[in-house]
Structure 1
């Protein structure tokens, strides 16, 4: 498909890039390296007006639009058609300490917000990886580092600046457009191209947190112990456990390279003394290959999970669970543990607490009653997705009796088509209907469909 690049370039300040150039390939590349957009043109937006121009150009020609900042969670790749809007150059951050809020443009990552908020004694409701983009995380709900205390990150959003399919730049709040504001907080990127968000900060300056690594020669015993431990915890402590064969990455301690290990992550806002007491049952499980749990400033919170910073190939999914059944965990380990047919990463995140409480002005996030999130992932270079996907599905099938939904932000696609049935699983039934009505109003031609796509009402 050819694009009238001169017309488009005349409307935007940033670059307009076409296939065949090194700059085009760099601009379309994201963190998820095995699933990349191949659009007819890329617009490197530098300001909201660039985003407006790109959306207007596409809408007038009925071209689809995809939006990318860091590219951590591409769902469906735009291939050979349409316009990709790259927002990574939009980096303005403004903290309002008196109001306890931050406004971040669409290219900002959480680490930048953490650094800007810290001098004011404040912190954002961010996730485990400081290099993840602010906007995509908030649109998908956001399971935060302190989520059992703070709830879903999207419920802290105060305003969204978005260019809808008609080319209008809207400042959306609970007062200006309650339905669109609700949909944007958990409904994903279905409703337009976000240029900035305003979200609340929390008065957190330090943590007792870090990671414990254990050799996972008996992974089921460790999962059973973790499950029992989580039943004793206050909401001020949010944690997770991950089982995997550790890669030789710089973020992974060298003694773990090549070993199948358990990685327990802890973030606690109480005192170090109370934290020591709460973590003691875990330390008693046996020798630790690594123990970084300590008192730390919040600016070091990104060290807890040690998420990889180097772009790589991966795909996987998740289920939200009302409980962890010990018998089901045995099946999970048998299917996706150290002896799995393909290498798998198993992760369980402890939810409940504030996650389970729906505030009066809550957004569209589904599955709030879940007590745990279980993720299964495979590196794209470790096994073809056609081989690994059935292994993942066997895990989900084993957990079906306890499943209450799926988390949008933890679905990493391999390029396979995403069905409407899969999208419905992300939301409560009545919320899905409401989301479709909002979609029909603001994007009736489904220009923004390269996401967990909610189709307009006339789209089926």
Structure 2
């Protein structure tokens, strides 16, 4: 078997246009590293693919040696961290974005990040609602039913998925769109990344000629008043209004900041955000584009989770802000993200299942030292427990890690799971793609 593996690996090295790394190779440790220092992944082989033919060849290699296949797209995530002993297909070289302004679409490589997408679409006044951090992978966010800064205006990321080019577990190239393999396209609308390797995605874009944002920072102790004001501004405002409320580390006590985004121009935003700037605050900046809400810088440890909320009464606001008193590290934060508007108005027959939630509570822990692991993980659990009385039985799959089967069902949707398992049986009956949130074949 060792001789067979050696021969197959030599052939893979010779045939791939990209790069191949195995343990002991120069560059292996760099290739396996991820931004979250808490993750120590050790794949059996890493195939850094240059194009779709490389992906096909890599999957054939894995099937020849009976290796499971893990996929690394452009960004990061909690669920796909344990890939020891697998073939890792690294798509980060496949990050091209081609915009068709006449059709209002973009073809996005499987390794593209939100930053790649934004830079390609911005010159045309077009955008898609995909994550809040330019370092997040587009494919992972869409396939996992993630959220973005324009959700209330245009709907969640998965609603913008018009087509996917996929390499299956049999190393076959297939396309899924409204006319071809529609059941597979349905599964990919937030059903996770377990159905194949998405080498390219076609997204519907939206005209955003006048994006604007305002950030208001408040002093210690101002969190409850600021969050309540943000709740009222969003509740009374149009669907084009979105943003986030954040509790951040600060001395002598945590600070609160509010980000408000609006697709109707800066003048209209100033009027809508008036109740927020009328409160005593330390700083307020209005302009465009909206600032990123970054995930962990390289070398830091991170963990996060989320709870969808059916409502945000004053008691929930107080509970949320109280959780900020024990933020576990300098990059940690508590976020409240508004839903509703275009999220609730989307196609109810598709995952994701959180359409009718009103808010997302998103605790994010970021800390430098392994000695802080226990405290940080406990804080994330406590933050989710603190808002549980107002929680909905749904969650964005991309915002949770391995939290057990009940939470995975909450991310996929209880009513969707049977159909997802049937699609999995057709396209991956041997469960070759078993990492991330694994949908098992029926």
The correspondence of residues 57-456 of structure 1 with structure 2, limited to 5 A, is 57-245=61-249, 260-288=254-282, 290-294=283-287, 296=288, 300-301=289-290, 303-305=291-293, 310=298, 312-334=300-322, 336-339=323-326, 345-359=333-347, 363-381=350-368, 384-404=372-392, 405-411=394-400, 413=401, 417-456=402-441
TM-score by length of 1: 0.88
Whether the 8 Å CA contact 2:343–2:355 is kept in 1: the answer is: yes
Whether the 8 Å CA contact 1:211–1:305 is kept in 2: the answer is: no
Match of residue 32 from structure 2: 28
1:48 CA displacement: 0.5
The secondary structure found in structure 1 opposite 2:411 is coil
Whether the 8 Å CA contact 1:31–1:70 is kept in 2: the answer is: no
1:384 CA displacement: 3.7
The secondary structure found in structure 1 opposite 2:79 is coil
Whether the 8 Å CA contact 1:185–1:363 is kept in 2: the answer is: yes
The secondary structure found in structure 2 opposite 1:353 is coil
Check 1:152–1:80 CA distance in 2 against 1; reply closer, same or farther (3 A cut). Answer: closer
Whether the 8 Å CA contact 1:265–1:305 is kept in 2: the answer is: no
1:218 CA displacement: 3.7
Whether the 8 Å CA contact 2:244–2:336 is kept in 1: the answer is: yes
The secondary structure found in structure 1 opposite 2:343 is helix
Q: Structure 1, residues 185-222: CA drift from partner, whole Å, max 9, x if none?
A: 10121111110111111111331213211123242333
Please list every run of 5 or more consecutive structure 2 residues that lacks an aligned counterpart in the other structure. none
Please list every run of 5 or more consecutive structure 1 residues that lacks an aligned counterpart in the other structure. 247-256
Whether the 8 Å CA contact 2:96–2:116 is kept in 1: the answer is: no
1:367 CA displacement: 1.2
Could you tell me how far apart the structure 2 residues matched to 1:315 and 1:30 are? 13
Check 1:218–1:264 CA distance in 2 against 1; reply closer, same or farther (3 A cut). Answer: closer
Could you tell me how far apart the structure 2 residues matched to 1:222 and 1:36 are? 39
Could you tell me how far apart the structure 1 residues matched to 2:252 and 2:49 are? 41
RMSD value, Cα: 2.4
Could you tell me how far apart the structure 2 residues matched to 1:18 and 1:46 are? 17
Higher mean alpha-carbon deviation, 31-40 vs 347-356, is at 31-40
Q: Structure 1, residues 279-304: CA drift from partner, whole Å, max 9, x if none?
A: 1100111022x32222x3xxx34x25
Q: Structure 1, residues 259-284: CA drift from partner, whole Å, max 9, x if none?
A: 62212111101132221111110011
Whether the 8 Å CA contact 1:245–1:258 is kept in 2: the answer is: no
Higher mean alpha-carbon deviation, 34-43 vs 21-30, is at 21-30
1:165 CA displacement: 0.8
TM-score by length of 2: 0.91
Higher mean alpha-carbon deviation, 123-132 vs 88-97, is at 123-132
Check 1:117–1:223 CA distance in 2 against 1; reply closer, same or farther (3 A cut). Answer: closer
Could you tell me how far apart the structure 2 residues matched to 1:259 and 1:329 are? 17
Whether the 8 Å CA contact 1:40–1:83 is kept in 2: the answer is: yes
